[in-house]
Structure 1
Amino acid sequence: MNVRRLIPTTALAGATALGLVTLSACSGTSSAGGGKGGGKLDVVVSFYPMQYLAEQIGGDHVEVTTLTKPGVEPHDLELKPRQASELRQADYVLYLKGVQPAVDEAIAQSGVEHTVDAATLTEMERHGTDVGHEGGEHDGHGGEEHDAGAGADPHVWLDPVKYAEVAQGVGDSLAKADPAHAADYRKNTGTLVGKLKALDAKFADGLRNSATRTLLTTHSAFGYLAERYGLDQHGIAGIDPESEPSPARIKELQSVARQEKVSTVFFETLASDRTARTLAKDTGLRTDVLDPLEGITDRSRGDDYLSVMESNLAALQKALGAK
C-alpha cells in the first residue's frame, strides 16, 4: 500500500536534508525509515507496552519504532532533536500520557493526525503507594500522593483486562488510519484480546488461594493488578520508581511484613534494588523480581509481554504461598 504522508512538505524536505535520520539506534524494533520506502504505516510508540500492542495488532502492515530503547527507565526519557523530528513524520503515534513528560510534550507539538493516547481507551484510576482489593489507598508519605499526569496511575497494562480494552481501541484507531487493512487490524485485535483474556484467567486461578494477599514492592506499579486479583500492594516508593522512602515508611513496611506474614520484597529490573534489599535484610525477607514491563532487556524473565507476565505470576504464587 502506498501510504499518504500526514505531514507538511517542509517537514519532509527537512528530513531529506538530514539524510532521513531514523530512530533505529533508539529502537528495539524497526526503523521508521522502513515505512517510508516499504509502503507500510509508519508507527511511532512511546515505550514497550505500546510497542507490543502496535506490533501485535499492526502485524505486517506497520513499521514500528519505539522512542525508549531497551534498558532505559521510561520515566527518565529525554528526547533528542532527531527523535522529535522523526516523530513529526509518523503516520500514527501511540503513547500513554502520564508516563513520560518529555514524550507527552513532543507529541502534543508534533501535529500528527493519527495520535492516540492509550489512557483515553480505558478507565484510568488513582493509586497511591498502598492499594488493595478493598479499594482503600494511601501513600505512606504524610499524605502526599505520587501520582502521574492528572492524578491517574498510568500502569494500566499490568491488568490484562484493562490492557485488552486498550488493545480494542488501538485496533479501531489503526483501522481508521489505514482503512485498506482494517479487516486485518480487527482480526489481529481479536487474537490479542483472546490471549489477554486467557492470561487474566491464569492470574485469577493462580492467585485464588494464597497464604497472604500482601504484596511488598519497590515501585508502586501494581495497583491495577492488585485490585484485579484481590491483593494488597504496599510500595516502598511511590508511582515514581526513583523516589526515596522516609524512615517512618520503612518502619511501617516492617510492621506490615510481620503482621501479614510476608515472605518476599519485590524489586524490578530497570530501577535500583538497593532499598528493597535493605528492607529485606532488616526484616529477614527474601527478594525477587516483579517486572512492571516498562521495557524488555536481556535481564527480563521472558522475551515479550505475555511471557514476562507469566513469570510475574509464578513469582507471585511463590511469594504469596499460592496453592
Structure 2
Amino acid sequence: MRRRLLSALLVPAVALAGCGDQAASGEKPEDGKFEIVTAFYPLQFLSERIGGDVVSVTNLTKPGAEPHDLELTPRQVGQIADAGLAVYIKGFQPAVDEAIGLEAEDKGFDAAAVVPLLPAGGEDDDGHEHSEAEGGEDPHVWLDPVRLATIAGKLAERLGQADPAHAAGYAERARALGAELTALNTEFAAGLKTCDRRELVTSHTAFAYLAARYDLHQVGITGISPEAEPSPQRLAAVAREARETGATTIFFETLVSPAVAETIAREVGARTAVLDPLEGLTDSTGDYFTVMRQNLATLETGLGCK
C-alpha cells in the first residue's frame, strides 16, 4: 500500500519539480546556494556543518517526528527531484528510498554505503542472537563518531564533485568536523573504560554501533523497529538478563513511548533513563555533539562508570 501511495505522489511531484528554483540540469537558485535535501537529522547536521554558508539544506523529517515511517508529500518529492544532492541512508526510510530511486538516483548519497555496517541483529525470546532480516543491516551508523567522521569525509568529496567551485571549503570543513568527532570518540572511550556493568538494556536496538565501539553489550527489548511489540517471552528474557547482570537502569529513547522500558524496570527494581538515538532533534538549542555528550553522561551514571 505504501509503495502505491508514493508512486501516486510522484506524478504531481514531477510537475512541482518543474516549477522549482533549481532545475534538474543543476542550475542553482537565485541565492546561488547549492541545494541539499536530507532524510533526517544526523544527515542534516553533517550537511550543514560541511556545506557551511554556500549550501541550503532541507530536512524531510520534521523536528520531534519519528523518522522510520516518514511519508512524503508531493512537495517533498519535488524537493528531492530538484536538489543538487539528496543525502539519505538506504533501508531506513522506504518512502525516501523510492523517491530517490525514481526522481534523483544520480543525485543520491547513501551515507551507509561508505562505511562498514553491522547486521540488523537482535535477540530471540531466549536471548540468542539472530538476524532480524535476511541480509539486513543496521542503519544507525551515526551513533559511532568514528564511522560518522568517515561519512563526513566522503560527503565532502561528493559535494566537491557536484559543486567544484566550493570543493576546497567542503573538504576543509569536513576535516574540522572529523577532528571534533575524533575528540568525541576519545571522550566516550575514556568515560566508558571502567564501569561496574557493560550491559546496555535498551527499549530498541538502536545502539549496536555505540556498543561495539565502546565494548558494551546491547540487550534490546525490541529490534531495529521502535514500534515493534515484544512478546511476553522476550520481556521475560530481558528481565532475566537484567537481574543476572545487576542492571540498575533501563534505557528508553526520546521519540517512542517509555511504557515497555518502565515495565521491565519495575519488575527488576531498576530506574529508567533517556538514551537518545539522535534520529530526530527535540531541542532546537542543541546539536549532535550536545546530545551525544548527554548520552555519555547518562551511560556513565547508568552503568556505574568511574
TM-score, structure 2 as length reference: 0.89
Letter matched to residue 84 of structure 2: D
Provide, for residues 92-119 of structure 1, a one-character-per-residue CA deviation record: whole Å limited to 9, x for no partner.
1111111101111111011353321111
Distance 2:129 2:118 in 1: 18
Q: What SS does the aligned partner of 1:281 have?
A: helix
Residue 108 (str. 1) matches residue 101 (str. 2) = yes
For these two proteins, the number of residue pairs brought into alignment is 290
Distance 2:18 2:108 in 1: 25
Contact 2:119–2:135 at 8 Å: present in 1 too?
no
Letter matched to residue 229 of structure 2: E
Contact 1:139–1:238 at 8 Å: present in 2 too?
no
Letter matched to residue 111 of structure 1: A
Moved over 4 A (4+): 138-144
Distance 2:89 2:116 in 1: 13
Contact 2:156–2:174 at 8 Å: present in 1 too?
yes
Contact 1:128–1:139 at 8 Å: present in 2 too?
no
**1:28 paired residue number:** none
**2:66 paired residue number:** 73
Distance 1:51 1:227 in 2: 25
Distance 1:257 1:206 in 2: 22
Residues 1-323 of structure 1: matches in 2 within 5 Å?
Answer: 14-15=15-16, 20=20, 36-111=29-104, 113-130=106-123, 145-147=131-133, 150-298=135-283, 303-323=286-306
Contact 2:205–2:222 at 8 Å: present in 1 too?
yes
Distance 2:39 2:73 in 1: 13
Q: What SS does the aligned partner of 2:195 have?
A: coil
- After superposition, the Cα gap between the structure-2 partners of 1:271 and 1:140, relative to the gap in structure 1 and judged at 3 Å, is farther
Unaligned runs of 5+ in 1: 1-10, 23-34, 131-137
Distance 2:57 2:189 in 1: 32
Contact 2:17–2:81 at 8 Å: present in 1 too?
no
Letter matched to residue 15 of structure 2: G
- 1:150 is displaced (CA, Å) by 4.6
Contact 2:21–2:29 at 8 Å: present in 1 too?
no
Provide, for residues 189-218 of structure 1, a one-character-per-residue CA deviation record: whole Å limited to 9, x for no partner.
000000000000000000000000001000
Unaligned runs of 5+ in 2: 1-11, 23-27
Identity %: 47
Contact 1:98–1:150 at 8 Å: present in 2 too?
no
Distance 2:125 2:215 in 1: 19
- 1:162 is displaced (CA, Å) by 0.7
Q: What SS does the aligned partner of 1:235 have?
A: strand
Q: What SS does the aligned partner of 2:218 have?
A: strand
Q: Tell me the C-alpha RMSD between the 2 structures.
A: 2.3
- 1:146 is displaced (CA, Å) by 2.9
Contact 2:13–2:78 at 8 Å: present in 1 too?
no
**1:27 paired residue number:** none
Distance 1:143 1:230 in 2: 17
Provide, for residues 26-81 of structure 1, a one-character-per-residue CA deviation record: whole Å limited to 9, x for no partner.
xxxxxxxxx62210001101001110110000001100001111111110101111
Letter matched to residue 66 of structure 2: E
Distance 1:140 1:151 in 2: 21
Q: What SS does the aligned partner of 1:129 have?
A: strand
TM-score, structure 1 as length reference: 0.84
Contact 2:87–2:109 at 8 Å: present in 1 too?
yes
Distance 2:70 2:126 in 1: 27
- After superposition, the Cα gap between the structure-2 partners of 1:275 and 1:39, relative to the gap in structure 1 and judged at 3 Å, is same
Contact 1:47–1:68 at 8 Å: present in 2 too?
yes
Distance 2:17 2:37 in 1: 19
